[in-house]
Amino acid sequence: MRQAVVETGVALAGAVLSVFGLIHALGFTRDSAYLPTVVMGLLTLLLVVWAVRSALTLRHEGGDSIRLAPGHVRRFFTLLATSIVMIVAAPRLGFATTFLLFVPLSGMLLGYRKGKWLVVTAIIFSLLIYLIFQVVLDRPLPPEMALRVFTGI
């Protein structure tokens, strides 16, 4: 896919959002509206100019192309998906417990195959996180499920 196609699409979508932002900013009271209106107006203008320039590049030269290997796309979305699951799970299971599962699972799904290192890294990392945040910094974090399971506390 051409870089200019992506840029034109992003710039146009951004310009539409920016127009909505501008309309929203015009609804603020006078003193609060001044800067938001100016900034949203300028942003809309810049995005339109960017879209036009990208479209012209596409028309004249074609521009550079973006080459995304299938593995790149898969790994990007895998990490994003596991991160989302991790954020949902962390308040329920506790952060250290979630990381105990998240680090090896993500590593494995991303393609890292040395099982021993996956497990060792996850245990050391989770222990460090627990020690730093719960013991040293004394941050009020959600209770750890792993601690409940292993110690019954």
Q: Please give the residue ranges that form the binding site for other proteins (CB under 8 A).
A: 6-7, 10, 14, 21, 24-25, 28-29, 31-32, 35-36, 39-40, 42-43, 46-47, 49-50, 53, 66, 71-72, 75-76, 78-80, 82-84, 86-87, 90-91, 95, 99, 102-103, 106-107, 110-112, 114, 117-118, 121, 125, 129, 132-133, 137-141
Question: Which one-letter amino acid corresponds to residue 92?
Answer: R
- The least distance separating other proteins from the CB of residue 153, rounded to whole angstroms, comes to 21
The CB-of-151 to other proteins minimum distance in angstroms stands at: 21
Nearer to other proteins, 128 or 152 (CB): 128
Give the shortest CB-60-to-other proteins separation in angstroms: 16
Q: Which two tokens stand for residue 11?
A: 């710039």
Indicate the residue among 132 and 149 with the shorter CB distance to other proteins.
Answer: 132
Alpha-carbon dihedral 122, 80, 91, 116, rounded to 10 degrees: -10
Please state the closest distance from residue 125 (CB atom) to other proteins, in A. 6
Name the token pair of 139: 């941050």
DSSP string, 31-56: HHHHHHHHHHHHHHHHHHHHHHHHHH
Task: Assign 149 to helix, strand or coil.
Answer: helix
Q: What's the rounded Cα separation, in Å, for the pair 58 and 65?
A: 10
